Amino acid sequence: MKYTKKKTKKICRFCDCPFSPDPRSGLRQYACSKEICQKMRKRENGNRWQRNHPKYKKHKKKYMKGWRKRNPNFSKEYRKSHPEYRQREIERMRIKRLHKKFVAKPSSKN
């Protein structure tokens, strides 16, 4: 006689669609496999981690400031030795500026 686990359906916390959770995760899974739901799950988990570790950001900023002081020309040398990175950055910034230009600004007429 074969025993099979009953397939359970859960409702995704983000899109309210039913999904079958991965059997390895048991009852812990709360998001379906859609890309947008996974992004939202990761953002939620990241925000939770930040709330639970409030000193991390301050410590990292202090550490990076010291690292930059010890390696003052790193960025300049990296860009010089990686031209493909430089091109990607130029394109990324161009898109960012375009997006910023077309995003509606809140009006101050109240």
pLDDT along the chain (110 residues), means of 10: 66 94 89 95 96 93 95 93 93 91 62
Per residue in 69-100, is it b (16+ CB within 10 Å) or e — as a string?
Answer: eeeeeeeeeeeeeeeeeeeeeeeeeeeeeeee
The whole-number pLDDT of residue 68 equals 95
The whole-number pLDDT of residue 47 equals 95
The whole-number pLDDT of residue 108 equals 56
- The answer to whether 41 and 31 have CB atoms below 8 angstroms apart is yes
The whole-number pLDDT of residue 2 equals 56
The whole-number pLDDT of residue 3 equals 53
Domain assignments of the chain as residue spans, ordered by start? 8-52
